[in-house]
Chains A and B, each alone.
Chain A
Amino acid sequence: MADNVLSIEGLHKSFGGLKVIDDVGFAVKRGSRTALIGPNGAGKTTVFNLLTGVYPVDGGTMVLDGRDITRVPAKDRVIFGMSRSFQNIRLMPHLSTVENVMLGQHARARRLGDLLYPLGLVPGNRWARAAKEALEDAGLETYPGQVVANLPYGVQKRIEVVRAMISQPKLLLLDEPAAGLNQVEAQQLLALLEKVSASGVTLLVVEHDMHFVHNLCDHVAVLNFGKKIFEGTPAQVNDDPLVREAYLGSDTSMAGQQKAAPAAGAADAP
């Protein structure tokens, strides 16, 4: 189906005797904002790790924008149009903000001439300029020699999104983007993701914060114990008995408290 930017079929993954992903299949429509939710340990991050090639799959196929990426090495998948952010921030602590974003350009700069271009010695070269512009577009100021390790958590989360976006993905995978953010930071991130989505990039979001999911996403898939138990709209998900049993709880007003964010006060119940 041409209007699916990603389709997964019959995905299997076991670690030893433990079936982490058991016959999972779903499709992500082009331009959609799909959420992947479920209790801790349901296999959401594993799905991301299979998609990005961190682990090889045991079975099933993954098709990205019409191309089978199931056996493509991890370093080449970003070229096919997929990029991600991480559950725990994984910016490079010893690189500056701009250099972190320039790492995101790597997939588009693999010719020998690009690899040997002295980025750090030519002030205002096009790579550095593009990285700075991308940061400014996301509302992030940069300072010369700014090391990311000292920046506030919410800013680092947004830098991760900028780094992922500068590889020009068709599909952006976000692993718990709102976790640990306060209300203001979550709003800033939401605004950034709205902007990303409006530019035509498809979003696939793992998130526990149901308030955030309702605000951002138009489609939801639910995993539980490695199996898909629901797929539909965010409005339907609240009424599904299986999902309520497995994840949301019987009273939907409790949904916001289910999230496992390290910092408190990230979201209130809807």
Chain B
Amino acid sequence: MSGYLESQLIILCLNVIYAYGIFLPAASGQLNLGAAGFITIGAYSSAWINASGAPMYIAIPASMLFCAAIAFTIAFPILRTRGVYMVLATFAFAEVVAGLIINLEFLGAAAGYPVESHADYLVVVPVTVLVVLLCFILMSTRLGLAMRSIHDDEAVATLFGVDVRLAKVAAFTLGAALMSLGGALYGHHYNYIETQTFNVLLSIYILLYVLLGGTQTAWGPLVGAAFFTVVPEALRQIATASGHAWIADSRFIIFGAIIVLMMVFRPEGLVTRTMVDRAATPFGGGRSGAAPAARAA
């Protein structure tokens, strides 16, 4: 595999893992703009445990547990907020994490932190595949059904016996553990981390992958993250190959236009429930149809 393709594959894998971390809460109706915070915790805690003598294969799961514990603790106050207020609360959390790390000397503070063990694509790719499979299975379970019900109508879900708070906390915590995994893999792959990498733009991008990919099915984050990782790179490649430098120069404008068009024509995301069902039963799918384009998240 060429160095360029490998580097693109790693970025794709990390983005997919991050996206599933945001997808789990989003599928149960929570907008989480705190991705950078959880990724930072994962990257630094795994690196620190690794530096303290534990091998990577212990450091990464330990960092996931640590991040899940933090997420579980903050889930109770944060899940009292809704909609745009939850966006703000999770964003604030990520800023607090960044502010803390940059002041912690033993984690390198503003100078960044070197990471010892290296994880190449032979680690990152299989782990990503496992994450995707696990998320597909999770969404097919009754817990997944409960999460999707909460997304649609919390009050009715409660009346049918769904423990709404438990399901929301579970989704939030599991999502945080996945983002921590992604952050830890980032650190171990690049062997150097600094808080500035995990900024609010990263959180926004990940939330965009999920919302534009679609929150109704487990395909959404996979397609969303892949689309957003591949398209800008592809535009650059096209520019180089065709000799039209203006494509490379204006690729973010083209990309922005694509995002706007997607929001207009696919308000519920690129992949919707109906689309997956149609693809699954191409013959005799019967009378299925599009769900109303009411709630995007």
Contacts and interface: CB of A to CB of B under 8 A. Distances in A.
Nearest to A77: B159
A90 B152 CA distance: 9
Given A90-B153, A119-B140, A145-B288, A95 B145 contact: yes
A147 B217 CA distance: 14
A77 B160 CA distance: 9
B141 A78 contact: no
B231 interface: no
Interface in B82-96: none
Contacts of A103: 145-146, 149, 157, 160, 162
Identify the interface centre among B139, B148, B153: most chain A CB within 10 Å of its CB: B153
Interface residues of A, number: 44
Identify the interface centre among A53, A90, A109, A118: most chain B CB within 10 Å of its CB: A118
B274 A145 contact: yes
Nearest to A116: B141
B140 A118 contact: yes
Contacts of A115: 141-143, 146
Contacts of B139: 120
Contacts of B149: 92, 95, 103
B153 A118 contact: no
B216 interface: yes
B152 A86 contact: no
Interface residues of B, number: 42
Given A94-B148, A94-B152, A107-B161, A119 B141 contact: yes
Given A143-B286, A167-B160, A116 B143 contact: yes
B140 A120 contact: yes
A119 B289 contact: no
B288 A92 contact: no
A109 B277 contact: no
Contacts of B140: 118-121
A95 B158 CA distance: 16
A94 B288 CA distance: 12
A14 interface: no
Contacts of A84: 159
A219 B295 CA distance: 41
Nearest to A163: B160
Nearest to A78: B161
A10 B278 CA distance: 53
A176 interface: no
Nearest to B286: A143
A120 B291 CA distance: 19
A191 interface: no
B111 interface: no
Give the interface SS of chain A, mostly helix, strand, loop or mixed.
Answer: loop
A69 B82 CA distance: 29
B287 interface: yes
Interface string B206-229: 000000000010000000000000
B285 interface: yes
B243 interface: no
Nearest to A143: B286
A233 to B, nearest CB: 30
B164 interface: yes
Given A95-B149, A95-B152, A116-B143, A74 B291 contact: no
Contacts of A114: 142
A76 B155 CA distance: 13
B287 A150 contact: yes
A119 B142 contact: yes
Interface string A112-153: 001111111100000100000000000000011111011000
A121 B155 CA distance: 27
B161 A118 contact: no
Given A86-B156, A116-B141, A167 B161 contact: yes
Identify the interface centre among A54, A93, A96: most chain B CB within 10 Å of its CB: A93
22 contacts: A83-B159, A90-B153, A90-B156, A92-B152, A92-B156, A93-B294, A106-B162, A115-B141, A117-B142, A118-B137, A121-B140, A143-B287, A144-B280, A144-B281, A144-B286, A145-B273, A145-B274, A145-B280, A147-B273, A147-B288, A149-B289, A150-B287
Interface of B: 136-137, 139-146, 148-149, 151-153, 155-164, 216, 273-274, 276-278, 280-281, 285-292, 294
Top 10 A-B pairs ranked by shortest CB distance? A145-B277, A143-B286, A120-B140, A107-B161, A92-B152, A150-B289, A78-B161, A118-B140, A106-B161, A121-B140
